[in-house]
Each structure stands twice: as C-alpha cells, then as structure tokens.
C-alpha cells in the first residue's frame, strides 16, 4: 500500500474495501497505456470494489461505456478527449478519466451537472500516476454523499434503511430530482444503476459548470 492509498483508506475513512471483484489480466492489458499504471496496480491489489461501505466504487470502464455515452456522447467533451468511467458513487456521481487530461471531468447525474477541470499543463507536469494518486488521497466522503432537504447527509441512513449496494445497484430518487423529486430518505430506492442512470440522462438536462481549474488560474 502506497502512502496515497493509505491516506484514502485510513485517514479519509474509505477503508476497508468491500465486495471485491478480481480484475482479469486481459483487462489490465487492454487498459495499459490508456489509464494510469498506478490505477491498474490498484485494480490488481484491490480489484474492482466498494469503499466506505459502498459509498464509492471503482468500476470496469467497459461496463460503463453505455452510461458514459448517455451522458456526454453528444457533448464537446467526447471530442476533447477519450474518456473512461473509473469510479462512481452510491448516488450516481461519475468519475471520468481522460486519456490526455486525467481526472478532468465529473458528472453529478442526480442533479444533471458536469464539472470540468482541465489543466493540461499541470497534468503534463505531474504525470498520470501522480494525478491519479492525488485524486485518491485528497478525496473525501462528503464529496460523494448527498445532502437532503434538511442539510443532513443521506448515505448512512439509506444504507440502514435500504441495505447495502453491490456493483450494479445504486440509491436513486423516485421521482427523479429533475422531475420534481425531493432529496429525502423517503424518496430513495435501491435501483439498477445502469438503467436508472440511462433514464436520468433522458429526463435531465446536462448543465456544464464553470471549469474550476481555469477559474483557479484567474
């Protein structure tokens, strides 16, 4: 375990990993040169699995190509880089990795928000492996939880009420927030992730937020 993953698992409270799925060697070979070597190493050490009791999941990018296309297939992002879904949250936040830009885009599917963060100069300077390591070590549980209408986090209560998630399920609001649903525990259901996210992409208008990396440069 390197210091970055140790920080992610222990200090940030994402450990221990759960529901490990071993990554076939052919998958490692397929994504070598497309994704950071360090991510492939994490796959070999931990598999594709859940963290923080299932709040955060690493995934097989091949299995999430359909969701990726649903959300950004018709946007300029697909022309800007080759993207892969490398992780997702219990509530449908998608972490995307760009082959030439690193962790430069996140999709918050329940709210229909895209958060770009393009800093090609920094990515080139740090390199893919360090960028990936910094992503893991600096992330927090609050980033992936959802706050309800009373400003209270939902994940632990959803876990207690609806039971644990697996690789293919998520907590989703019914009706969807885009259709007037409220972010409350009573509106959450355990749903098939790919189906629900595909439906959300059809009923939710994707709004692209300001590029935080460019804004930081002034």
3-state secondary structure 94-105: EEEEECCCEEEE
Residue 66 lies in a domain: yes
pLDDT of 218 above 60: no
pLDDT at 213 over 80: no
Tens digits of residue pLDDT in 146-182: 999 999 999 999 999 999 999 999 999 999 999 998 9
181 Cβ contact list (under 8 Å, min separation 6): 173, 174, 175, 187
Q: Is 48 within the bounds of a domain? A: yes
* Domain-located, residue 162: no
Cα separation, 97 vs 105, whole angstroms: 7
Is 155 within a domain? Answer: no
C-beta atoms surrounding 203 within 10 Å: 12
Assess if residue 11 is contained within a domain. Answer: yes
Q: What is the pLDDT of residues 184-196, one digit of tens each?
A: 999 999 999 999 9
β-bridge partners, 97: 84
Cα distances (angstroms) measured from residue 30 to each of 27, 95, 173, 200: 5, 20, 35, 30
Looking at residue 217, its pLDDT comes to: 60
pLDDT in the model for residue 1: 78
> Is 151 within the bounds of a domain?
no
Domains held by the chain: number = 1
| Structural domain contains residue 40 | yes
Q: What is the pLDDT of residue 38?
A: 98
User: Distance (Å, rounded) from C-alpha 184 to C-alpha 112?
Assistant: 17
Predicted TM-score (pTM) of this structure: 0.95
**Phi and psi torsions of 57, nearest 5°:** -130, 135
Tens digit of each residue's pLDDT (9 = 90 or more) over 105-151: 999 999 999 999 999 999 999 999 999 999 999 999 999 999 999 99
- Enclosing domain of residue 71: 3-146+204-216
């Amino acid at each position: 375990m390197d210091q970055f993953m140790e920080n992610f698992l222990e200090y940030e409270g994402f450990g221990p990993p759960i529901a490990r799925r071993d990554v076939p060697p052919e998958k490692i070979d397929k994504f070598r040169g497309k994704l950071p070597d360090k991510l492939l190493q994490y796959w070999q050490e931990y598999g594709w699995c859940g963290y923080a009791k299932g709040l955060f999941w690493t995934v097989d990018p091949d299995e999430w190509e359909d969701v990726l296309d649903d959300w950004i297939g018709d946007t300029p992002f697909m022309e800007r880089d080759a993207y892969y879904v490398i992780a997702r949250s219990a509530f449908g936040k998608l972490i995307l990795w760009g082959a030439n830009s690193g962790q430069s885009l996140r999709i918050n599917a329940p709210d229909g928000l895209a958060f770009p963060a393009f800093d090609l100069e920094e990515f080139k300077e740090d390199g893919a492996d360090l960028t990936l390591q910094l992503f893991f070590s600096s992330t927090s549980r609050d980033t992936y939880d959802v706050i309800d209408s009373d400003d209270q986090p939902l994940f632990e209560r959803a876990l207690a009420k609806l039971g644990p998630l697996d690789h293919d399920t998520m907590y989703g609001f019914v009706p969807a927030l885009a259709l007037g649903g409220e972010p409350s525990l009573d509106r959450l259901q355990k749903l098939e992730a790919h189906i629900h996210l595909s439906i959300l992409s059809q009923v939710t208008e994707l709004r692209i937020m300001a590029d935080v990396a460019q804004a930081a440069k002034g």
